Chain A
């Protein structure tokens, strides 16, 4: 058995020079320090993304992206297809955990200032992937074509429509018309399963290649107070096996969530029915939604909603471009302002999310 495997390895190695890759992997080390735990969240996000791809492809076998069949096909999937409930629940739960893991990953990178030179591109691609993930969440939410999703999409795209100049055409482009209809469903379906995964894959490839090429970043503070050489651990197999161990646990967690809290389907959307009470966006949009509620209707000749959206837009843009304006971190100096901004963002998001759920 072993001899055969060796033979196969040699056969491949002869053709594509596996030896180089193995050597590269063998030389890769991961720094070990008190903040090393954050390194795992990138891997967890990757794992959850893989789960999404696999379960998403499986769902495509039965899902029908049309107004008259979308809800029914999910109902069919949940009741008639063996383990259909499991696949759908895992897809829904993993989607939420993915965004959560990506958020933690993003904030840990931010606070450890791992975005600083030379990793600006890694940060940028990561941020773009995060925005895409929010887009995945928003578009995927509509696909079951149930009541809550229908109205959440209506409200969500309405907000897009408020943006000056480009808002209205963008909203019509998103909706495939003036209103949320079957055309919107088709568009969201296309976005969710073809366009966004395509773009995402490009960013993901760049992101992962850069991580492998540049290695893990060492936090500024940790580097400074360790007089001796940094303690490290080989990426292969030590770190990779730990990654796998964590992935197994996450998989088990997903299975438990799917069994104990199966994702509900609700009632089929009826465009002519009155909006049901308590429409709330997904939790990761909640803080923005809640903020828009608090802004007065008119602030100095500007429409309150427009102002809110503009502010979030600018904040997002600044956040994405942090490696370019945070020069001090890139020079290896301490920059407390960055920490204060980060802490403010975390507290803001947590408080407004709680307020949104409580209201």
Chain B
């Protein structure tokens, strides 16, 4: 076996015409091969070897000499095994140089790999203080480096998970760098659609690098990270919204478009509200699957807690379960969830209640829906009337910050009533609405008092002006009379 392998290697090193001229002189390999060490064995598969780069390219020395004293003489530049950051620097010596990569090897590989690596979380973190966590060889291997498109590469889509997990699934190792980081990402990944298909050999599904990047990996909390909450939808969409790429997967490609128009998407992408859900908040991140019919209300309930609670204890819960209707989604949709308006409630054509509740088939629910809508409409109308009065009073220059403050309570009551809709209980709902109506009438009263005060001021001014005018005219007449008398005296 060994002999056969040696013979095979010999064939490549001596017989191969393409590499012949360069390889003939690689005396390092000739000797090390006979030693049977692993590096020399692996190196013969290495892309660098195939391109004619000798051992001296990384280790220094003179690879053309068969004299060990000469070949491995430090004076000839021999450095032995590079350590720590020197490993990556050694790679970058060629990989960052346009003169070498483009002119000599006609390569289109990016030449900023070392910069991006050293800016990444792997380049910045260090436990020893001397070297960075990851060097080029950490992921690409040292002697058997092949193209990333080669299935043998440790960073080939089907292998990359194992490569990353080598460190990231090792709790003992990770503790030294980031004890708070979970180490179960690969396990979770294997439960996801991506992970399952990846295992089956699908190279197109997302693996670690698809979402986290390769050389430029940053912590998820870094705003420049591809998986930072506001960047994630674009990252997911780079595959999921790509028609050509998603061909053959029987999946829609409009999720991103719908999401960015939804109330959540606008909050996240336009207002940069990190409280708003990104893709992973509903689908999970490493264990990404669409939430099922049962779990959807739990997923929404993470944030919309009261609504989910109220819904679960409402009569709708049973009815939905029986019909296998997904809970929140049935009325609110999913990716395109728009801001819920009062239009959803009631029996009008836009309302969702009437989809199930018709006057003939389900009159009780129909009536409740209609009453609830009337109630919330009346509160909204009262609120806007009050707001108009407050605005008018303010425009008239009246100081009514107190009424403005109370208007907040009205808004609060209306929000509360919209939550209370999910109890689908008319009495509970009415109680909230009436609380709001009470505050509204107090606000309206205060505002109209202020408006009356405004007109009172004008009337007061009118009266005062009249009095002053009469007084002024009287004084004027007095002056005339006095002066006439003075004239008469003369």
Contact = CB atoms under 8 A, between A and B. Distances in A.
Interface stretch (A155-163, A236-244, A340-348): A236-244
B465 interface: yes
B401 A75 contact: yes
B461 interface: yes
B471 interface: yes
A248 B468 contact: yes
Contacts of A85: 399, 457
A245 B475 contact: yes
A256 interface: yes
Interface in A60-90: 75, 78-79, 85-86
Interface in B440-462: 457-458, 460-461
Contacts of A245: 472, 475-476, 479
B482 A241 contact: yes
A78 B399 contact: yes
Nearest to B482: A237
Nearest to A75: B399
B399 A255 contact: no
A249 B472 contact: yes
B465 A241 contact: no
B340 to A, nearest CB: 33
Given A248-B471, A252-B465, A256-B461, A242 B399 contact: no
Given A248-B475, A251-B468, A262-B397, 20 more contacts: A78-B399, A79-B398, A86-B457, A237-B479, A238-B482, A238-B486, A241-B475, A241-B478, A242-B479, A245-B472, A245-B475, A245-B476, A249-B468, A252-B469, A252-B472, A255-B465, A256-B461, A256-B465, A259-B457, A264-B397
A262 B453 CA distance: 13
A278 B395 CA distance: 22
Nearest to B462: A259
Interface in A249-286: 249, 251-252, 255-256, 259, 262, 264-265
B303 interface: no
11 contacts: A75-B399, A234-B486, A238-B486, A245-B479, A248-B468, A249-B468, A252-B472, A255-B461, A255-B465, A256-B465, A262-B397
A244 B475 contact: yes
Leading 10 A-B pairs by shortest Cβ distance: A79-B399, A259-B461, A252-B468, A78-B399, A262-B397, A245-B475, A248-B472, A241-B479, A259-B457, A248-B468
Interface of B: 397-402, 457-458, 460-461, 464-465, 468-469, 471-472, 475-476, 478-479, 482-483, 486
Contact of B479 (A238, A256, A264): A238
B424 to A, nearest CB: 43
Interface of A: 75, 78-79, 85-86, 234, 237-238, 241-242, 244-245, 248-249, 251-252, 255-256, 259, 262, 264-265
A249 B470 CA distance: 11
Contacts of B475: 241, 244-245, 248
Given A75-B399, A245-B472, A255 B479 contact: no
Contact of A79 (B401, B465, B469): B401
Nearest to B469: A252
A313 to B, nearest CB: 39
B102 to A, nearest CB: 50
Contacts of A79: 398-402
Contacts of B471: 248
Nearest to B398: A79
A241 B458 CA distance: 29
A242 B402 CA distance: 47
A262 B461 CA distance: 13
A266 to B, nearest CB: 12
A259 B458 contact: yes
A308 B471 CA distance: 49
Listed residue (B400, B457, B458, B465) with the most chain A CB atoms within 10 angstroms of its CB: B457
A91 to B, nearest CB: 16
Contacts of A265: 399
A244 B476 CA distance: 10
Contacts of B457: 85-86, 259
Nearest to B475: A245
Contacts of A237: 479, 482
A252 B265 CA distance: 59
A244 B402 CA distance: 42
Nearest to A80: B399
Contacts of B468: 248-249, 251-252
A324 B148 CA distance: 96
Contacts of B469: 252
Nearest to A84: B399
Given A238-B479, A245-B479, A252 B464 contact: yes
A325 to B, nearest CB: 41
A205 B399 CA distance: 40
B472 A255 contact: no
Contacts of B476: 245
Contacts of B465: 252, 255-256
A265 B478 CA distance: 42
Contacts of A248: 468, 471-472, 475
A264 B398 CA distance: 10
Contacts of B478: 241
